[in-house]
Structure 1
Amino acid sequence: MTQLVLNDLINIDKFRSKYNKRVMARFNTDWSVGEQRRSYLDMYTNDPTLFRNWANSTYSAQHITRESEQDLVLQFIKIQQPDLWLLTQAVNIQKKEGHTFRDPIFDYDDIWSANYTDIPELQKYVNLLVVKWKNFSRVWRYVDPNKVKSIPIYQILPKPYHLLDLEFPGFNKIKMRYPDLKRVINQPEWKQALSGVYGVYLITDLSNGQLYVGSAYGEDGIYGRWCTYLTSGYDKYENESGDYPNKRLRDLVRKRGNTVCQTKFPI
């Protein structure tokens, strides 16, 4: 079967000609400063305004321009290993220094973000189109038309990504990355089911395959313990060999962020 590519779905040359602009594919990558980490998937899920500001940030830390008024930008974020990316925006940059914003966890000065309008013809693919892509070295923005055209299409989701898996699937089917779990855990069905059950679960560090076995027998059961994980990354009242908090889980989250974690219940 022939591999479908982005140009089969979106005629790149047509958009370049119509808008007299280049088409940029921007694969937004997570980053850390010290022990603090920013995940685009987490921002997309929990803070859409901050997500849009960072996704359209104008300059790099070295003050290199990331996007400008000559760009139509296809914004992608990684949703799954290995190398699956979701189209989250398709925008027409109007002003590269459009407005400034502050990040609540990083002590940065005001950060420039571009002002833009949505590209009407492409909104039908936003939050639905998934591509498979591996960045070249440290490069994560592409304007070469041939590279943009050749991005392989992996899937078009049946409904927007943020609306998937809102129904509780049953206890034997819980195997989720933290950002996905965070998106659904407060849905009524999930909260009711997990609050009334206790037991043992497995956390996997997806960056290296290391496993952590945890248990929940306190108030609110699995729901209460997992909410703490999703908020703080670890539970300071959960011990490891009699020590509080569980230092290995805390160190994992501080070093890599909790987006590398996947939880499974039951085991």
Structure 2
Amino acid sequence: MGGIELCELINCDELDDCKVHLASWDGNNHPLDVFVNDREQWNEWNEYRGHRNDFNKKYIFSLIKFYSEPDVWLFGGIFKVVARHTDRYEVSLERKNSNLIGRLKVRFKRNGRVRSVSPDRYFQEMTVFEILREPYSGEEFPGYEGVCLPFKKLETVINQSRNDWRSALSSVKGVYLITDKSNGKKYVGSAYGVTGIWSRWSCYIRTGHGNNDELASIIKENGLAYARKNLVFTLLEYRPMKADDKVIIERESFWKKSLLTQGEYGYNKN
């Protein structure tokens, strides 16, 4: 379907009076993650006005940067601008083409970092890349060797209780690494006994610190926003749930020594 022009698939009156919203990373969040995690917050992205009236048409045709694939965008809906304020728009989601929201992927090479474009100039350059069977709900489980997630992505995975991730991480014990991007410090932890990686990491999502003393003091002072901004989770090793706990504890100790996480470079106290 890669050769089908977007205008051949979506043909409605709204396109004659709209601007295309090319939503991409704002320095803090990827709109794709926002879309997956919280649709109300995604709607707010389309209400943002800024200091310019970029979306000065009646409708906003929203595309979301699908950042894992170059020049690919996910259809985020068509919004009607029902009111304009000095600091924001009020929008309502149109029902037309709503069956394609989160499913339609569009190929379009954007010039620079432009936030809005006119469809009469650029629609002919937009082609249908793919139509997903179900609305996009986040990255698929990449295999145990590929697990490395920023806190916010892990939060989305766990809050949505994605079956592929939950099934995989609930069935293994293991050793993991938490890296604090703000200072480079690291923490090595483990999950053993009857607790799989999923359960252990779920505790971090609830608290921001997983009851680690060093992280707990930071989160108490700065809030969960600190974890969302700075913490990255990596699975270092995994074993089946029937594995001897001694093996997990020994491997945890090995990684603490290897990564120097028990001194000034890390958050491990012992």
Give the one of 79, 91, 103 matched to 1:91. 79
SS at match of 1:124: helix
Instruction: State the 1:133 CA deviation.
Output: 3.3
Question: TM-score, length-normalised on structure 1?
Answer: 0.61
Residue 9 (structure 1) aligns with: 9
C-alpha spacing 1:132/1:202, structure 2 compared with 1 (3 Å)? farther
SS at structure 1 position matched to 2:3: coil
- Mapping 1:223-242, distance limit 5 Å: 223-227=198-202, 237=212
Range 43-52 or range 170-179, more displaced = 170-179
* 1:131 paired to 2:131: no
Unpaired runs of at least 5, structure 1: 98-109, 205-211, 239-243, 246-252
By how many angstroms is 1:91 displaced? Answer: 2.2
1:151 aligned onto 2:151 = no
Paired position in structure 2 for 1:185: 158
8 Å contact kept, 1:30–1:39: yes
Give the counterpart of 2:21 among 26, 29, 34: 26
CA distance in 1, matches of 2:76, 2:15: 23
More strand by share: 1
1:40 matched to 2:31? The reply is yes
1:147 CA displacement: 0.9
1:172-206 Cα shifts (integer Å, max 9, x gaps): 586575566544335285546534522245899xx
Aligned to 1:207: none
1:236, distance to aligned residue in structure 2 (A): 8.1
RMSD: 4.4
Partner Cα separation in structure 2 for residue 31 and residue 94 of structure 1: 25
Alpha-carbon separation, structure 1, partners of 2:5 and 2:229: 32
Structure-1 separation of matches of 2:110 and 2:20: 11
Aligned equivalents of 1:20 and 1:223: distance in 2? 45
Residue by residue, what CA displacement relative to the aligned partner does 1:125-154 show, whole Å, maximum 9, x if unpaired?
111101233432221211151312311322
Give the count of matched residue pairs. 222
* Residues 111 and 64 (structure 1), Cα distance of their counterparts in 2 relative to 1, 3 Å cut: closer
Paired residue type of 2:35 = Y
Whole-Å separation in 1 of the counterparts to 2:149 and 2:15: 41
Instruction: Provide the secondary structure at the position in 1 that maps to 2:212.
Output: coil
Identity of paired residues, percent?
Answer: 22
Unaligned runs of 5+ in 2: 180-185, 216-224, 239-270
Instruction: Map 1:215-230 onto structure 2 (within 5 A).
Output: 215-217=189-191, 220-227=195-202
Q: CA deviation at 1:81?
A: 2.0
- Mapped to 2, the partners of 1:199 and 1:47 lie a distance apart of 30
Match status 1:114 vs 2:101:
no
Q: Offset of 1:40 from its aligned partner? A: 1.9
- DSSP-derived class of the 1:137 partner: coil
Alignment partner of 1:25: what SS? Answer: strand
Report which of the two structures shows the higher radius of gyration computed on alpha carbons: 2
* Alpha-carbon distance between aligned partners in 2 of 1:229 and 1:78, rounded to the nearest angstrom: 28
Q: TM-score, normalised by structure 2?
A: 0.61
